[in-house]
Amino acid sequence: MEFEGGVLLPLFHEHPMMPWNDHHMRKGDCCDYFEPQSDGYYCKLCDFFVHKKCGDELSEFLSDHPSHPNHTLRLQEKRGNVCDLCGSQIQNLSYYCDVCDFDLDLHCVKYPPPDVIDNFEMHPHKLTLVKKQTFFECSSKCGKTSGHTFGFTIGNTSGLSYGLSYKCDECCLSFFHVECVWHPAAIDHQPEVNHPYHSLHPLKLFKGPPPDYSDGKCRLCGRNVDKELFYHCSSCNFTLDWRCVVNPPPQSLMDLKAHDHQLTLLPRLDSFTCNACGLKGERSPYICVPCGFMIHQECLKLPRVININRHDHRVSRTSVLGDAAMNSVCGVCRKKVDWKYGGFSCKRCPSYVVHSKCATREDVWNRKELEGIPEEEGEEDIEPYVVIDDNTIQHFSHKDHHLRLHGNNILYEDNKRCSACTHPIGLHSFYRCMDCDFSLHQNCAKCPKKKRHVLHYERLTLVTNKDLKVFRCDACYRRSNGFMYKHGGKELDVLCGSISEPFVHPSHPHHPLYYIPTEEVEICNGCKNSKEDYVLRCIEDDCRFTLCFKCATQPKVVKHIAYDHPLSLCYGEEEEASGKYWCDICEKETDSKEWFYTCKDQRASLHRECVLGDSTGLMPRTVANFFGELYEVVLNNSLTVVADSKETKVNLDPEGVFDFSAKAGPENHVYELKLELHSKVNVEESKINIGVDEDDEGNDGAADMDMGGMSGMDFSNFGGMGGMEGLGGMGGLGVMAGLEGLGGMGGMEEFEDSDDEEFAKPGDKKDEAVKEEAKPVGVLKEDK
C-alpha cells in the first residue's frame, strides 16, 4: 500500500517503509533469508528490511501451495518453529496450518520445490517430492541433517533426517534433502554474491568439485559442500555452501540455555575446545570474549533435561561439571570426564556424570526434552510383585494365585520350567504357584515391569507373552516363547533384557563388562564369532575381552539324559591339553581352549551346541504361536524317523552297520544316515518300524518295515557310536510334519531343525506315531 512518504506493509511492520536497493546481498527481516539483490523496503527507524518479493506477493492467506494443497495456510508469527519443508528454524513469520500443525517459512513459500525434478548430476532418474514427513538418510552422502533431526552420530555413522524429501520411484531406497537436489532459480543464476561473513571480496559461484587446496567444507557449518552449487573466494580460501549463503547462522545471539551473555560467531578456521561438551573444534564457534567461552554451533541445541538408557533417573545439563566429577568417568563411554567443561549429571546421584555428546547419541537418548515436564508417578511403578509374607508373593504375571518360595540347591530340578525364561528350574530357588503348575525362578520373578536397557533408547516393558508367541531376541537371536522386554519393534528375552552395566561374568571375573559400540571388529571370547552386532567388552587398557549376549546368557549348569550329574560350563583350559578332547554326543573333537560343558569328574567335554541345540528358549509341552499358526512344542529326546518319508530304505548289516535313506518334504530332499555300531547284531531278531501315516497310500508300504523280526530296535544304544554325524539334519523332521514342509526346506535357515524343543501341530497323528515308536537317546537340557 503506497502513500505519500513511503509504503505500508502491515503484515510485516508497523511503520512506513521506503523502497530500497543497495546492490548487496541482504537478509530480510520478513523471511530471515538472504536474497542475491537487496531490492525491497526499508524502515530506517527500526533498521527493518523486507524483500520486495515478500512485500509485494505475500498475503495473509495462502491457498493451494504445492507443498500443502489440501488446506489454506495463514501468515502468523511462529518464532522458533521449524519449517516442515526445508527444516530451517523460523525466526519471524511463517505460514501455518492449524489442522495439520504444518509450518512453512516464507522462503519456501516464494520458491516452492516442484513435484518432479531432473538432477542427473546427483541421480540418474527423475525425483519425486514426498509430501509427507518421513525419516530418511540422504543418498547424496552430504552429511547434512534437516527438519526435526536425529543429527547426533555414533562414530562415523550419519544421523537420520526427518522432513519432506525427494525420492526416486525407480530405486525405491534413494532419498534426498530438498536443498541437495533442487535450488531456486533466483539463487542458481547469481555468479557472484556479497556476503556479510566475507565482506573483503565477492564470493563466486562454483559448480563441480571444490579446489584441491580447499578442505571442501563450508566455513560456517562445517558440512561438505555439494558439487552442484557452492560459493568460494579463491583469494582467501573461503567457502560457503548454498544453505549458508541464503540462510547463514546469526552473527550474534542471546541464548540463556547456552550461556549467560551474548554470543558472537567467529567465522574462522581455529582450533578450540568447546566449553559445552569438552571436545575439540576446528571452525566458526560462538564466543563470549569477556568470559573466554567458546561453543560449537551444534552444541547450542543441546537439551537441558533428558532420560538416557544407562541410568534410571533423569540427567540434567550443566555448564561446568565441577569438583564432584573430578575423578568420575562417563556413564556411557566409561572414559574420564573433564570437570572443567559441561556435561550431564544426575541430581539424585551426584557422582553420575555423562559427556554431552555421549548423552545425546541417537542410541542413548530418545530425543525428548523434559525440561518443564514433571516426572510421572507411573514411572516409578516397576515392582513386579506384591509381598504377601516372607515366602509368598503375588506376581503381576499370575495375579489369580499366590506363589510360594522354594529353595533348591541340592537336587537338579529339570521337570519344572520357569515361565519367564523357559529354562529348567535347575539348582536355583524358585517361586511355585500354590494352585497350579506355574513357576518362576526367584531371579526372574524380580525382573522389573519396566527397565532401561543399553540396546534401546526407550524404556522397555516386561510382556508376559500369554499367547506364547515365538519371537527372536534382538540381542542373542535365540527363539523364545517366554516373557520378553519390548518397546515397539525391539524385543529381548528376559535373560538378555536383564543384563545391566556393569556386567560381571564368571569367565572374566576380575573386570566388569560394558556395552560400548565401536567400529572395530571384535571377536567374542566365548564363541569366537566376529559378526555379532552387540558385544559386551572389558574397558581395561590391556584387556580386549569381549562377550556376545548369547554367550553372556548361556546357562552355567545344565542336565543331559546321558549323564547322571549336571554338566557345568567350562570356559576353556588355559594350557594346551596333553591329549585330545572328544564330544560324546557328536563323536567329534573338542577344542580345549574353547567353551564346553563337562561333568563333575571332568571326563566329558561336550560341545555347547550339541548340549543346548538351537531352541532352548521354547517352553516344552506348550502350544506356541508360530507366525499365527499354533504348534505343540515337544522335547527332541529321541531319534526321530522321518514321518512323511518316501522311497524309504533301511538296511542292517550283521557286521554292525546300519543304513537309512529317504526322501521327505514337498521338494523331496534326500536324508541319509549311516551308523557303525560297536558290535555285530542278529538281524533275524531285529525289527524297526517307520512312523508313517497309515492313510498315505503313496509311501510304498513303508509304514511298517519288518527286518527279520526286529522287536523294537533300541536306539538309546546308538549314543556315542561312530557315524552319528548324519543325525544333524534329521532331528525334528518327524514332529515338523504339521509345518507343511517348513522343516529343512529352502529359505528357512532362520528356523533350523532343533536339537532341543521342536514344533508339532496339536493333535497331529503323525507326531503321536513318531513319539510312540521312537526310543530316547538324549534330552537336551538347559538351565538358567
The edge-to-edge listing of strands for the beta sheet with 230-233 is 192-195, 198-206, 230-233, 238-241
**C-beta neighbour count of 681 within 10 angstroms:** 17
Give the total number of structural domains in the chain.
Answer: 8
pLDDT number for residue 278: 93
**648 & 720 share domain:** yes
Instruction: Single out the residue of 756, 743, 770, 762 nearest to residue 637, CA to CA.
Output: 756
**561 & 638 share domain:** no
Q: What one-character DSSP code corresponds to residue 2?
A: E
Residue at 589 is within a domain:
yes
Amino acid (1-letter code) at residue 206: F
The rounded Cα 410 to chain-centroid distance in angstroms is 41
Instruction: Compute φ and ψ for 436, nearest 5 degrees.
Output: -145, -170
> Do the Cβ atoms of 149 and 87 come closer than 8 Å?
yes
**585 & 634 share domain:** no
- Of the chain, the end-to-end C-alpha distance in Å amounts to 80
Neighbouring-strand partners of residue 281 = 272
Instruction: Single out the residue of 136, 137, 135, 116 nearest to residue 127, CA to CA.
Output: 116
Residues 6+ apart with CB under 8 A from 36: 25, 186, 187, 190, 193
- Dihedral of CA 422/428/434/437: which sign? positive
pLDDT number for residue 697: 41
Residue at 37 is within a domain:
yes
Rounded Cα gap, residues 297 and 317, in angstroms: 17
- Dihedral of CA 615/619/625/629: which sign? positive
Q: What one-character DSSP code corresponds to residue 421?
A: T
pLDDT number for residue 706: 39
**746 & 629 share domain:** yes
Length of the chain: 784
Q: For residue 82, what are the domain limits? A: 61-110
Rounded Cα gap, residues 316 and 348, in angstroms: 11
**631 & 745 share domain:** yes
> Do the Cβ atoms of 353 and 328 come closer than 8 Å?
yes
Reported pTM: 0.63
pLDDT number for residue 776: 30
pLDDT number for residue 213: 92
**641 & 759 share domain:** yes
pLDDT number for residue 34: 67
Residue at 510 is within a domain:
no
Residue at 370 is within a domain:
no
Tell which of 445, 468, 502 closes a domain: 445
Residue at 66 is within a domain:
yes
Residue-by-residue DSSP string for 147-199: BS-B---BTTBPPBEEEEEEE-TTTSS-EEEHHHH---HHHHT-SEEEETTEE
Tell which of 562, 583, 612 closes a domain: 612
**16 & 47 share domain:** yes
Residue at 494 is within a domain:
no
**671 & 734 share domain:** yes
**Regions of the chain short of the pLDDT cut 70:** 1-5, 22-26, 34-38, 78, 87, 143-159, 183-189, 228, 376-381, 408-410, 574-579, 602, 636-645, 664-667, 669, 677-679, 683-784
- For residue 339, is it left (φ>0), alpha (ψ between -120 and 50) or beta? alpha
- Which CATH number fits the domain that encloses residue 269? 3.30.60
**165 & 290 share domain:** no
Q: Parallel, antiparallel, or unpaired for β 430-433 and 403-406?
A: antiparallel
Residue at 475 is within a domain:
no
Residue at 751 is within a domain:
yes
**100 & 197 share domain:** no
Element (H, E) at 386: strand 385-389
**598 & 663 share domain:** no
**675 & 632 share domain:** yes
Rounded Cα gap, residues 509 and 1, in angstroms: 81
